[in-house]
Structure 1
Amino acid sequence: MLKHTFKNNVSWITLNRPEAMNALTPTQRDHLIRLMEDASADPDTRAVVLTATGRGFCTGADLRAGLPPNTPLPGDVSRVIRTGAQRLITAVLDCEKPVIAAVNGTAAGLGAHLAYACDLILAAESARFIEVFARRGLVPDGGGAYLLPRLIGPQRAKELMFFGDALTAADAHHLGLVNRVVPDEELEATARAWAERLATGPTRSLAFTKQLVNASLDSDRATAFRAEAAAQEINMTTSDATEGVTAFVERRTPDFTGR
Structure 2
Amino acid sequence: MTYSDIEFSVNNGVAVLALNRPESLNSFTAAMHGEVQEALAHAAQDTSIRALLLTGNGRGFCAGQDLNDRAVAPGEDLPDLGDSVEKYYNPLIRRLTTLEKPVICAVNGVAAGAGANIALACDIVIAARSASFIESFSRLGLIPDSGGTWILPRLVGMARAKGLAMLGPKVPAEQALAWGMIWQVVDDDALMSVATTLAEQMATQPTRGFALTKQAFAASAANTLDEQLELEKELMRAAGKTSDYREGVAAFLEKRTPRYIGE
TM-score range relative to shorter protein: over 0.9
1:4 aligns to what SS in structure 2? strand
**What is the RMSD computed on CA atoms of the aligned residues?**
1.5
Q: Which residue of 2 aligns with 1:196?
A: 200
C-alpha distance after superposition, 1:177-198 (max 9, x if no partner): 1111101000010001100110
Q: What TM-score results when the alignment is normalised by the length of structure 2?
A: 0.93
In structure 2, which of residues 26, 29, 37 is the aligned counterpart of residue 25 of structure 1?
A: 29
Is 1:117 the counterpart of 2:121? The answer is yes
Please list every run of 5 or more consecutive structure 1 residues that lacks an aligned counterpart in the other structure.
none
Q: Is the 8 A contact 1:240 1:258 kept in 2?
A: yes
C-alpha distance after superposition, 1:21-57 (max 9, x if no partner): 0001112112212322322222111100001111110
Q: Percent identity?
A: 40
- Distance verdict in 2 for CA 1:155–1:207, change over 3 Å: same
In structure 1, which of residues 228, 234, 249 is the aligned counterpart of residue 232 of structure 2?
A: 228
Is 1:71 the counterpart of 2:62? The answer is no
Alpha-carbon distance, 1:67 to partner:
6.9
C-alpha distance after superposition, 1:154-193 (max 9, x if no partner): 1111111111010111111111111111010000100011
Q: Which residue of 1 aligns with 2:102?
A: 98
Please list every run of 5 or more consecutive structure 2 residues that lacks an aligned counterpart in the other structure.
none
Q: Which residue of 2 aligns with 1:6?
A: 10
Alpha-carbon distance, 1:243 to partner:
0.4
2:136 aligns to what SS in structure 1? coil
Alpha-carbon distance, 1:237 to partner:
2.1
Q: Is the 8 A contact 1:67 1:80 kept in 2?
A: no
- Distance verdict in 2 for CA 1:224–1:129, change over 3 Å: same
Is 1:39 the counterpart of 2:43? The answer is yes
1:3 aligns to what SS in structure 2? strand
| Rounded Cα–Cα distance in structure 1 between residues aligned with 2:120 and 2:156 | 11
| Rounded Cα–Cα distance in structure 2 between residues aligned with 1:42 and 1:18 | 28
Q: What TM-score results when the alignment is normalised by the length of structure 1?
A: 0.95
- Distance verdict in 2 for CA 1:68–1:100, change over 3 Å: farther
Q: When the two structures are aligned, how many residues end up with a matched partner?
A: 257
| Rounded Cα–Cα distance in structure 2 between residues aligned with 1:41 and 1:211 | 18
Q: Which residue of 2 aligns with 1:217?
A: 221
Is 1:163 the counterpart of 2:167? The answer is yes
C-alpha distance after superposition, 1:208-228 (max 9, x if no partner): 011111221222112212221
